[in-house]
Structures are given as structure tokens and as C-alpha cells.
Amino acid sequence: MYYVIQVVSGMEDKVKEQIEVMVEKELYDDCFYPIRHVKKKIRGEWKKLREKLLPGYVFIVSSDIEELYLRLRYVPAFTKLLGKDGGQFVPLPEHEVEWLKKITGSTGGYMEAGLSQIFVSEEDVVTILSGPLKDMEGCIKKIDLHRRIAKVEVDFMNQKTLLHLGIEMIEKKEE
């Protein structure tokens, strides 16, 4: 089951490394933070960059969360494990795991949301050709063509969260 660790934004790498060093591998199957690909204009040129998809969160997959939590408390950069309901830790709901896997094209482990290719017609109609945004039209709140970002609303930890996913505009080929 997937669990979410809240960390100080910018410390995701450090927390992941500390967990890998300080916590026995038998207590968890995977520890990661999802990445998104974006394009940004730097000094007049479009560059492909990799950024954290959900800054401030690290995901950990475990079937023994109680024992894992006892070990996590000794990780210096650990902030808190989200989803405590009474005395139990609640895993990330299955539908949230599914959208995370869908946008990253992953079946587990290393999760990266690539660029979605879009086409904009002369009438300013946007068509999503491929990538994480394909078949997510109902979740897209805004497409910012200037910044090459699509703003997508998803449920994350039982609340609406706005994700920014990278887009790439494709020229229409004349037939």
C-alpha cells in the first residue's frame, strides 16, 4: 500500500536518501517522489527540465506501516506520515494511486510525468495528442500556452489539488 510522508519542500531527495540508509529494506518496497517534465524558456531558448510533481511529499510503499513508522521517527529529516485516522495509518486511496500511475505511465517505482503533446487549431481549440493529459480532459482547469503548462485538478489526500503538467505544442502537418 502507498503511504505519503510530508517533508519540508526541497528536502525530498534528502528524506529519500535517509530512509534508504536508515530503514531496513524489508520494511518497504519502494520510496520515491514523482517527477514532471516541463519546458521553460531560459535566455530565449526552450529547455526541457525535470521538477518535483508534488513538492513536499515522498511516497513509500509498505505492507507493515506500523513497524515502518517506528523506524521513520529516527530519520532526521522526517516530518510526518499523513493519513492517521484514530490509531491507524490510512494508505493513499486506490483511485489516487491509479491517477498517479496513469499520469506517470508507471506500474510502480520510478514515476515521471512526461510532456503531453497538444495541437492548437486556428480557432484556438486545443487537442491533446498524447502524454499524461490524454483522456483527462475533465480534470484540466486551464492550459497556459505561454508557460507551456496545463493545470489539472486531482484528488490528493482527500482534497482537491492543482498539479502543473508540462505541454509541448506540435505543428499540424499539411496533407
pLDDT at 123: 81
What mean pLDDT is predicted for residues 39-44? 91
Higher-confidence residue of 89 and 28: namely 28
Q: What's the domain count of the chain?
A: 1
pLDDT at 37: 94
Residues of the chain with pLDDT > 90, as a percent, come to 54
Q: Is the pLDDT of residue 174 over 70?
A: no
pLDDT at 138: 76
92 in a structural domain: yes
57 in a structural domain: yes
For residue 119, list its beta bridge partners: 127
Higher-confidence residue of 110 and 121: namely 121
Query: CB neighbours of 114 closer than 8 A, spacing ≥ 6?
Result: 37, 105, 131, 132, 166
CATH assignment of the domain containing 141 = 3.30.70.940
3-class SS at 96? helix
87 in a structural domain: yes
For residue 119, give its domain range. 2-169
174 in a structural domain: no
pLDDT at 72: 92
Alpha-carbon Rg for the chain, nearest whole angstrom, is 18
82 in a structural domain: yes
pTM: 0.86
Residue 175 pLDDT class (50, 70, 90 cuts): very low
Nearest to 139 by CA among 162, 106, 105: 162
Q: Is the pLDDT of residue 107 over 80?
A: no
Span 60-92, pLDDT tens digits: 999 999 999 999 999 988 888 888 776 778 899
